Amino acid sequence: ELYTSSILHGKKPLITTNPNKLEEQARAALPLRSYNYVAGGAGERATMDANRQAFRRWALVPRMLRDTSAKKVGVELFGVKYDSPILMAPVGVQTIFHKDREVGLAKACADIGVPYIMSTAASSTIEEVAEASGSGHRWFQLYWPSTDAITRSLLTRATTSGFSVLVVTLDTWSLAWRPADLDEGYIPFMEGVGNAVGFSDPVFRAGFAAAMDGATPEEKIGHASAGWVREVCPGRSRTWEDLKMLRGWWGGKIVLKGIQHVDDARLAVEAGMDGIVVSNHGGRQVDGAIGSLEVLPEIAAAVGDKITVLFDSGIRTGVDVIKALSLGAEAVLVGRPAVYGFAVGGAEGAKQVLRGLLADFEMSLGLAGIDGVEGCKPEILRRVEGGG
């Protein structure tokens, strides 16, 4: 639809279809600090670069004269069929990108069949997002609070609100060295906009109620924001042992996000987890860490037959999706591109970017003679050293 309305009917799309121009378009649409927050990475952004370079080190070798018209592009994860192999990555504080915040983006994703992963750092509540996403697939991402009663409360709310899979992010127990935000003195959570999940939680609220006596509304927001950041970014990592607690508190599937080492992938299997996301948080945490796609093949080879392997960090085109699926991911998460679309055009903008990515994926499969998701195997790629 998008393609034909442009090529055949001369109708220019709202959002650029060029992945390299998308960031520029978002920059023009956003306040500087919001732009810096989404576009930025840790340190000198070496890992952000490495994420992209890793894709260039693999090349497709297209095949011709094959009928791929019946190709399937949906995937099955944990026994559930999804029309899209792309999931919306958990992204916090969406109110800084568009006034419609998470409720707008969650509904947009539901409208186009893209599963929505809600962040613990959301600026909408769990219940609001559930209502907006309606019958759409939704997963819940956990930044693991230090107070167990709060964790249990969040997980109960997420279960009651129809979130089917829990994604536990391991790599952000402290925010990293992010110069673009540090230089501006900007962390959105501290302004109270990223704390809807916490502020709306009865257990969290009860914990700081006493400290609020006599405080002005601004002081209350300040106290509560600082309290919430301390809860979910406590400055100290959890351990493998702690995962047992989560099993008791969450009845559904659990996916660990932020796995980069093959031994950690094996430990996830030993810990009885259902899945992992091979991810370096889009280069926002450990700068100088290896490009995420680089480690995918060895991890998929080690654990792909035991747990579900998902992937993110650096996906920008349909062929990127093909490469990640071919190297062992069962589905991929996309962060920044969808946020850029949301920033430029609200829900319509996000839909356009995600549908564009799906269309590019489907079209590229066909043109390269690949028979759908099933045809995405390592054999269709060649390692091209010196790419990048």
| 282 touches ligand FNR (CB under 6 A) | yes
Query: Which residue, 233 or 375, has its beta carbon nearer to ligand FNR?
Result: 233
Nearer to ligand FNR, 22 or 132 (CB): 22
First-residue to last-residue Cα distance in the chain: 32
Residue 315 in the binding site for ligand FNR (CB under 6 A) = yes
From 279, 308, 352, 364, residue interacting with ligand FNR (rule: CB under 6 A) = 279
Please list every residue from 184 through 213 that binds ligand FNR, using CB under 6 A.
Answer: none
φ, ψ dihedrals at 11, nearest 5°: -90, 120
Q: How far apart are CA 91 and CA 169, in angstroms?
A: 12
| Residue 41 interacts with ligand FNR (CB under 6 A): yes or no | no
Distance of closest approach, residue 62 Cβ to ligand FNR, in angstroms: 25
User: How many Cβ atoms from other residues are within 10 Å of residue 9's Cβ?
Assistant: 7
**Binders of ligand FNR: how many residues, by CB under 6 A?**
23
Q: How far is the CB of 321 from ligand FNR (least distance, A)?
A: 11
Q: Does 22 bind ligand FNR (CB under 6 A)?
A: no
Stretch that binds ligand FNR, among 70-78, 208-216, 306-314, 352-360 (CB under 6 A): 306-314
92 binding ligand FNR? (CB under 6 A): yes
- What are the residue numbers of the active site? 281
Residue whose CB is less far from ligand FNR, 171 or 375: 171
Q: Does 254 bind ligand FNR (CB under 6 A)?
A: no
Alpha-carbon gap, residue 226 to 131, rounded angstroms = 28
Q: Which of 54, 86, 87, 89 binds ligand FNR (CB under 6 A)?
A: 89
- Judged by CB under 6 A, does residue 356 bind ligand FNR? no
Binder of ligand FNR out of 181, 312, 320, 330 (CB under 6 A) = 312
Residue 296 in the binding site for ligand FNR (CB under 6 A): no
Instruction: Report in angstroms how near the CB of residue 127 gets to ligand FNR at its nearest.
Output: 18
Packing angle of the helix pair 217-232, 202-209 (nearest 10 deg): 120
Q: Which residue is nearest to ligand FNR (CB)?
A: 335
**Rule CB under 6 A: is residue 84 a binding residue for ligand FNR?**
no
Of residues 103, 121, 322, 358, which one binds ligand FNR by CB under 6 A? 121
Stretch that binds ligand FNR, among 71-79, 236-244, 308-316, 378-386 (CB under 6 A): 308-316
Asked if residue 91 binds ligand FNR (CB under 6 A), the reply is: yes
| Contact residues: ligand FNR, CB under 6 A | 37-38, 89-92, 119, 121, 141, 169, 257, 279, 281-282, 284, 312-315, 333-336
